[in-house]
Amino acid sequence: MSGRKIPVAYFSVNCVLDKQNLTGNVRVVLSHTTHPGNIGAAARAMKTMGLHQLYLVNPRHFPDPLADTMSAGADDLLRNAVVCESIDEALQGCVFVAAMTARLRDISLEVLTPREAMPQLAHHAAQHQVALLFGTEMAGLTNEEMGKSHVLVRIPANPQFSSLNLASAVQVACYELSVAMQHDGLSRNPQQTGDEPAKHEEVERFYIHLEAVLKQIGFFNTKHPNKLMQKLRRLYARTRLEQEEINILRGILSATSGYNARNKGEEKKENGEG
């Protein structure tokens, strides 16, 4: 047996989902879905577990009659779906993102099973917007898309035949999330820590600022600065940045940028330039 601790069962077959304040903070994001039937089937999977916030990033065909058919009564989710032009738009306002992946990539983000990851998602959903992120049917999420998440989630499956269709993956993830949400006190008494987690867009602004300053001070001495930025993203993703920490880090970056500009100005004076 492995050393992994198996959670005690905490979901009763007689339990009725009554966690609206939690499920209302959870969005399911489907990126670049190619087949409209998969969108409808995913909506059906969501609704059976009490989730209703569906975000679609550049779907190939939507709206579409086939999506309505495959939703099997969850067409209200389709009518209210938010269609976005980018992952960043779909994740705006989220403080925690779990990216679903079937493949182990060369990315050092934490990889969890749905049973391990969904309690984290539920914890954050008690007070903030969170997201479950799914990629295309054939290729899954890109490295760039996964880099915008906090954890990777992989469904344990037969290693000789591990391919689940999109709706099946959505169903498994949403079920495990609904299980995690049955913890007493999660929605009734969300713990107020006073530490406000940083939203997705604030973290992205920090990364843009960080990359600009690192270029300015000549830190990138490699042919592949994007790979280094991916590593830095993973480093900060593990810390679960708070908004106050973002403010501190950006203050440091601004001070560094200003110091660098002053030094360059002084060098020009010494060299008789300008």
Per-residue pLDDT tens digits for 93-143: 999 999 999 876 666 678 999 999 999 999 999 999 999 999 999 999 998
Q: 13 lies in a domain? A: no
Secondary structure of residue 88 in the 3-state scheme: helix
What tokens appear for 167 in the block? 């709706």
Residue 129 sits in the same domain as residue 247: no
Q: Give the torsion through C-alpha atoms of 58, 61, 63, 66, to 10 deg.
A: -140
- If you average pLDDT over residues 81-96, what whole number do you get? 98
Residue 176 sits in the same domain as residue 43: yes
Rounded CA gap, 47 and 54, in Å? 10
**pLDDT at residue 24 is higher than 90:** yes
Q: What is the CATH number of the domain that holds 143?
A: 3.40.1280.10
Residue 119 sits in the same domain as residue 225: no
Of 145, 180, 215, which residue is a domain's last?
Answer: 180
Residue with tokens 């999660």: 186
More confident call, 2 vs 229: 229
Residue 37 sits in the same domain as residue 100: yes
Q: 240 lies in a domain? A: yes
Integer CA distances (angstroms), 124 to 88, 109, 119, 129, 232, in order: 19, 19, 9, 7, 23
More confident call, 20 vs 78: 78
Residue 79 sits in the same domain as residue 136: yes
Residue 33 sits in the same domain as residue 113: yes
More confident call, 52 vs 1: 52
Per-residue pLDDT tens digits for 56-68: 999 999 999 999 9
- If you average pLDDT over residues 47-52, what whole number do you get? 97
Of 180, 212, 246, which residue is a domain's last?
Answer: 180
Of 180, 208, 234, which residue is a domain's last?
Answer: 180
Q: 7 lies in a domain? A: no
Question: What residue numbers bound the domain in which 222 lies?
Answer: 200-270
Kind plus residue range of the DSSP H or E element containing 204: helix 200-216
Q: 252 lies in a domain? A: yes
Give, as one character, the DSSP assignment of residue 197.
B
**pLDDT at residue 14 is higher than 60:** no
Residue 206 sits in the same domain as residue 114: no
Per-residue pLDDT tens digits for 181-238: 987 455 444 445 558 999 999 999 999 999 999 999 999 987 778 889 988 999 999 9
Rounded CA gap, 261 and 255, in Å? 10
Q: 3 lies in a domain? A: no
Give the number of domains in the chain: 2
Say which amino acid occupies 62: F
Average pLDDT of the chain, as a whole number: 87
Residue with tokens 């280094």: 228
